[in-house]
Copies of this chain bind each other. A is one copy, B any other.
Amino acid sequence: MNVSIIGLGLIGGSYGLSLKERVKGLKVFGWDQDHLHQLAAEKLGLVDTGCASMEAAIKVADWIILALPVNAIESNITIILEALGPNQLVIDFGSTKGEICRAVEKHSKRDQFIAAHPIAGTEYSGPSAAFSTLFKDKVMIVCESEKTRPIFIEAFKNQCAVLGMSTTYMDALQHDNHLAYVSHLSHIIAFGLSTTVLQKEKTEINIFDLAGSGFDSTVRLAKSSPDMWTPIFIKNRSAILESLDLYLEKLHDFRQLLNDSDEQGINTYLERGREIRKILK
Q: What residues make up the interface of A, taking CB atoms closer than 8 Å to B?
A: 118-121, 137-139, 141, 166, 168, 170, 178-179, 181-183, 185-201, 204-224, 226-227, 229-231, 233-234, 237, 240-241, 243-248, 250-252, 254-255, 258-259, 261, 263, 266-267, 269-277, 279-281
Q: Is the CB of B276 within 8 A of A209?
A: no
B273 touches A194 (CB 8 A): yes
- Chain B residues contacting A121 (CB-CB under 8 Å) are 212, 214
Tell me if B270 and A191 are in contact (CB < 8 A): yes
- Known pairs A192-B250, A222-B276; list 10 more (Cβ under 8 Å): A119-B208, A181-B197, A182-B215, A185-B197, A186-B213, A186-B217, A191-B273, A192-B273, A210-B280, A247-B251
Chain B hits for A195, CB < 8 A: 250, 269, 272-273
Do A234 and B261 form a contact, CB below 8 Å, given A139-B212, A193-B186, A208-B119?
yes
Q: Which residues of B contact A245 (CB under 8 A)?
A: 255
Q: Is the CB of A251 within 8 A of B208?
A: no
